[in-house]
Structure 1
Amino acid sequence: MSTDLPTAHRPLTDAPRDLAGWTAALRDRPIPVLASSAAALAVLAEAEEARGNVDAHRIDTAIDDDPLATLWVLNLAARQRHVRQVTPAETITSAVMMLGIGPFFRASADVEVVEALLAEQPQAQDGLRAVLRRAHRAARFALGFGIHRMESDVTLLRVAALLHDVTEMLLWCHAPALIGEVAARLRADPTLRSETAQREVLHVSLVDLEQALLRAWHLPERLLRLTDDHAEGIALVQPQRRMVKLSVQLARHTQAGWENAALPDDIEELALLLNLSPLSVRTLLGELDS
């Protein structure tokens, strides 16, 4: 990649030494969105300009499968939220309603695109696609579990699962060599824990880094709690947080098939949470993953 790129577009090649360093390095970098999301927003912007018939729900439907676009919209709303607006935006729909259709489309005109950022990084594109597939499956699981338990806010559960690994996605965009080294170590040693590999290469865990970034971006507290695998106390027994965590674990443990040694423990915990037999849980998972 050309060395005359702006600093915010140059890949990070040296890992900061601590959490504060990583947070400062990533906090102000662009949050890129997938090309499909950028194209969908461009089409909707034209429709809004021509006919004025675009609402927040149409925007949500167009881009809500893109974790990076979801993060970008929530971050945009958090930066624009007036101090008197007590309730933060937790979904794309609520964020766009808070921003207003016109201001939202004006902001989207300058959004960065993942495929352009990684045009000369095919391995990074492959790595990012793998995380995206995992996030989509986790989101489907979380939505299905929430519906089964008749939770009042299943959309938030889906968003939390979709965003759970968004920091890893950002690293494939902004520090591909570093996160690539983490992935290589995990492939070389199947017994190596993900957090151990992350701390060896990055000097931080991705869970801690994500929490730091979400707080730096002033994202909603409920999203922070639902995505925090290191939460202590009451958060550990909250059904909603357990559903998100299990959704992410199941997506990770089954990304290469359904024979992972950790899967029986996941299914046993999920059976207790959903009040189902382990066999019924396996059936449900198959339906959600089909």
Structure 2
Amino acid sequence: MVTLTEARQHRTVNGWVAFLKQADIPVLRQTARELTALQERGDDTGARDITRVVINDPLMMFKVLTYANNHRSRHQLQDLVQVEQAIIMMGTSTFFAEIPAVPHVEDVLNQHVPALVDLLKLMIRAHRAGYFAAEFASHLMDLHAEELRVAASLYDFAEMLMWCFNPEAMGEISKRQAADKTLRSRVVQQEVLGFRILELQAELVQAFNLPSLLNDLMDEQRAHLPRVRNVQLAVNLARHSADGWANAALPDDYKEIAQLLHVDVERVMHIVGVPH
């Protein structure tokens, strides 16, 4: 077993994977509140009700999919990529018994308010990316739009986990990048953490037995494939519109999305909800 202190000191991907595999992954307090309300409704609560709550919280989504893929029956050969499908397979009673909505992100970071603020922003952005990806997929008549929602929502899950468990280091990365806009993320991550977050994410997908499709959909090397392109563009749009619709990178995003969806830029701006 690797303790949190050891993971922070050793600064290796393997150390963090070993720690995170047995860590209690936190979720949003709001998620816990809503799930408690659903649990109290008893038999009136179905998989769809639970799914509506889970997809608002990328870390809860992560917990659901890792549990589902590590507890598949022998007959079930396919990876579970969609949240509702995973909850149906395990059943609502198993969901409530085996996937606790604790601890809460807000409690884990109660001594690190700036880190909490940055994490919440990242989680909101991830949720928006998921929404955009599902919208684009629906527009393209993709029958598995929910897979793209999950991939876009979990695109930065390793970074979320590092904010939860290594807030000082993540704050240092933020500070350095704010001071020098030309600093590349991967360079400063390597200096501060001892590895790139992308490397950690790739290892976590395997260690937690997440669906390999998620790795494919998040893989920048496959950006020529339409579904991967969808996820990338949704993530970029969520990032660039996080503080409003004035970011200089957005017009290029609209053009690329227009190419993906085979529509004009005006239509894209309408689809993604740019205010007039």
Tell me the equivalent position of 2:114: 123
Residue 267 (structure 1) aligns with:
254
Q: CA deviation at 1:261?
A: 4.5
| CA–CA separation in structure 2 for the residues paired with 1:181 and 1:83 | 45
Q: Pairwise mapping of residues 138-217 of structure 1 onto structure 2 (< 5 A)?
A: 138-217=129-208
CA contact (8 A) 1:15 1:202 kept: no
Percent identity reads 37
Which residue is equivalent to 1:277? Answer: 264
> Quick one: structure 1 residues 255 and 101, their matched pair in 2 at CA, closer, same or farther if it must change by over 3 Å?
closer
- Kindly provide the CA deviation profile for residues 237-258 of structure 1, in whole angstroms up to 9, marking residues without a partner as x: 2111111011111222232344
8 Å contact 1:146–1:157 — kept in the other structure? yes
Give yes or no for contact 2:133–2:152 (8 Å, CA) kept in 1: yes
Task: Indicate whether 1:242 and 2:229 are aligned.
Answer: yes
| Matches of 1:178 and 1:15, distance apart in 2 | 13
TM-superposed deviation, 1:9? 6.7
Q: Mean alpha-carbon deviation: is it higher for 171-180 or for 133-142?
A: 133-142
Q: What is the number of equivalent residue pairs in this alignment?
A: 276
Flag the 1:149–1:15 CA change in 2: closer, same or farther, 3 A. Answer: farther
Q: Which residue is equivalent to 1:76?
A: 67
Q: Which runs of 5+ in 1 are unaligned?
A: 1-6
Deviations 1:181-209 (A, max 9, x none): 11111211122222222222223222222
Secondary structure in 1 aligned to 2:44?
A: coil
Matched, 1:28 2:19: no
CA-based RMSD of the aligned residues comes to 2.5
CA gap of 1:35–1:111, structure 2 versus 1, over 3 A, is: same
Preserved CA contact (<8 Å) 1:124 1:172: yes
Name the CA shift for 1:9/1:99 in 2 (closer, same or farther; >3 Å).
farther
Deviations 1:156-197 (A, max 9, x none): 111111111111111111111111111111211122222222
TM-score of the aligned structures, taking structure 2 as reference length: 0.89
Q: Would the alpha carbon gap of residues 110 and 190 (structure 1) be closer, same or farther in structure 2, given more than 3 Å must change?
A: closer
**Letter matched to residue 52 of structure 2:** T
In structure 2, distance between residues paired with 1:132 and 1:121? 16
Taking the aligned partners of 1:159 and 1:189, their CA distance within structure 2 comes to 32
Partner of residue 4, structure 1: none
> Letter of the aligned partner of 1:31 in structure 2?
I
Residues 16-61 of structure 1 show CA distances to partners (whole Å, capped at 9, x for unaligned) of: 13x333322323222111111112222222222xxx2222111111
TM-score, normalized by length of structure 1?
Answer: 0.85
Q: Is the 8 A contact 1:13 1:177 kept in 2?
A: no
